[in-house]
Amino acid sequence: MQGKEVSEQETEGEAYVGIDVCESWLDVHVLPAGKAFRVANTSQGQRQLKRRLVADKVVLIAIEATGKWHRQTHRSLHASGYRVAIVNPLRARLFAQAIGLLAKTDRLDARMLALFASNLAPSAKPPLSQAIEDLKELVQARDSAVGEQTALQNQLASAATTFLRRQLKRRLGRIAIDIAALAREILLQIKADEGFARRYAILVSIPGFGPIVAATLLAQLAELGECSDKQIAMLAGLAPVADDSGKRNGQRIIRSGRPAARRVLYLSALSATRCHAAMKDFYQRLTAAGKPPKLALVAVARKLLVLANALLSNDRVWQPLPPNHA
């Protein structure tokens, strides 16, 4: 915050709002007026919230991401014309520590979020569509089931007791059925939405991208096709982050981003180095130049993401040769 102190004094008439969300209620703090109040986290409470904000010239509202509990409030406020920024909880906590706010209560968190909004001006974004929220829930459920399946397979590999092995095999059979059912439902949800279906067709046309990869990217990277290459790489956590200081040039590393999207892109890179000629050549050039194999795979994953971003932006499927332009 160079050149600006963390302050509650803002432009006259402009108001910044912080909302701390929990399952049962919303704690609200308005700056610079210093108003603080609590309403129920229900449709009626959200209407009450908007009535109490109508007298203020609200510039921005900051809400900490809380899984599903903040979504309806975000939708309600956005529908009423308010600019709403959803703040990563880690970023909010680091900001609180930076301004010396070490205590943590719901009311203090609301005030901290109002300060966050007024001093850092996070980007306001519209809520995800209900179709994307539903698809994300199904994709996450399948990921969870696959994780459980892997844990059971590892347990079975080391189990010696006949009874336990028999039980683990039954559980593995059951979870395999559940995973297949979730995969079918994910595909049905995609095909039921014309926009999803078109984006899905473009993604699965890329060598190395299978149905689960495409569904995961649709759910976890809804911004695909709408961002620059650098922005989408940052969102996925595949952009190298500088670590330089003085005369030291630190090693660039990838960090943050959306783990589920990054994981499937890395797995796609493994596949693409075998079935995608251009990606295979790119990977081999990097390793021949002395790059570690894992670093080269991350570079392939980033290149695949940029390719997907470009194809979705241009609304066209992948072709072995680029189209000729007269």
pLDDT > 90: percent of the chain:
78
110 and 151 belong to one structural domain? no
The answer to whether position 8 is within a domain reads no
**In a shared domain, residues 243 and 266:** yes
pLDDT, position 322: 59
Closest alpha carbon to 30 in 45, 48, 52 = 52
Same domain, 67 and 89: yes
Q: Are residues 113 and 147 in the same domain?
A: no
Range of the domain at 301: 213-314
Mean pLDDT over 126-132 rounds to 90
Among 66, 85, 120, which residue terminates a domain? 120
pLDDT tens per residue across span 136-181: 999 999 999 999 999 999 999 999 999 999 999 999 999 999 999 9
User: Domain ends where: 95, 120, 145?
Assistant: 120
For residue 203, tell me if it sits in a domain.
no
- Give the three-state DSSP class for 314: helix
Structure confidence at residue 12 (pLDDT): 57
Query: Residues 26, 84: one domain?
Result: yes
Residues 142 and 114 in one domain: no
180 and 234 housed in the same domain: no
Measured CA to CA, the distance from residue 176 to residue 129 in angstroms comes to 30
Enumerate the β-bridge partners of residue 19: 28, 63
Q: Which residues contact 100 (CB under 8 A, 6 or more apart)?
A: none
pLDDT the model gives residue 276 = 84
- Residue 321 — very low, low, confident or very high, per pLDDT cuts 50/70/90? low
Q: Bigger pLDDT: 314 or 326?
A: 314
In a domain, 206, yes or no: no
- Whether residues 148 and 113 share a domain: the answer is no
- The pLDDT of 250-278, averaged and rounded, is 87
For the chain, the 3-state helix, strand and coil shares in percent, each to the nearest 5, are 55, 10, 30
What's the DSSP call for residue 16?
E
Looking at the fold, whether 20 and 95 belong to one and the same domain comes out as: yes
For position 159, which CATH number holds? Answer: 1.20.58
Residue 125 in any domain: the answer is no
CATH number at residue 65: 3.30.420.40
pTM of the model: 0.80
Has residue 6 been placed in a domain?
A: no
The answer on 150 and 109 residing in a single domain is no
Residues 72 and 23 in one domain: yes
Q: Note the pLDDT of residue 252.
A: 73
pLDDT in tens, 58-111: 999 999 988 788 999 999 999 999 999 999 998 999 999 999 988 899 999 999
In sequence order, the β-bridge partners of residue 31 are 16
Tell whether the torsion through CA atoms of 91, 95, 101 and 107 is positive or negative.
negative
Residue 321 lies in a domain: no
Report how many domains make up the chain.
3
Residue-wise pLDDT tens digits, 28-53: 999 999 999 999 999 999 999 999 99
Task: Give CA–CA dist 85/126, Å, rounded.
Answer: 8
* More confident of the two residues 109 and 326: 109
User: Is 175 in contact with 148 (CB distance < 8 Å)?
Assistant: yes
Mean pLDDT of the chain: 90
Question: d(Cα 292, Cα 300) in Å, to the nearest integer?
Answer: 13
- Whether residue 7 is contained in a domain is answered as no
Q: What is the pLDDT of residue 326?
A: 41
Q: How confident is the model at residue 250 (pLDDT cuts 50, 70, 90)?
A: low
Considering only residues 251 and 191, tell me which one the structure prediction assigns the higher pLDDT.
Answer: 191
pLDDT of residue 11: 45
> Of 238, 237, 203, which is closest to residue 217 (Cα–Cα)?
203
Instruction: Looking at the structure, tell me whether residues 106 and 174 fall in a common domain.
Output: no
Q: CA-CA distance, 64 to 28, in Å (whole number)?
A: 12
pLDDT tens digits for 8-21? 444 457 999 999 99
Task: Give the pLDDT confidence score for residue 10 in this predicted structure.
Answer: 44
> What average pLDDT does the segment 226-249 reach?
83
For the chain, the maximum distance between any two Cα atoms, rounded to a whole number of angstroms, is 75
DSSP-derived secondary structure for 40-58: ESSHHHHHHHHHHHTTSEE
* Structural domain includes residue 62: yes
**Which of 120, 153, 174 is the last residue before a domain boundary?**
120
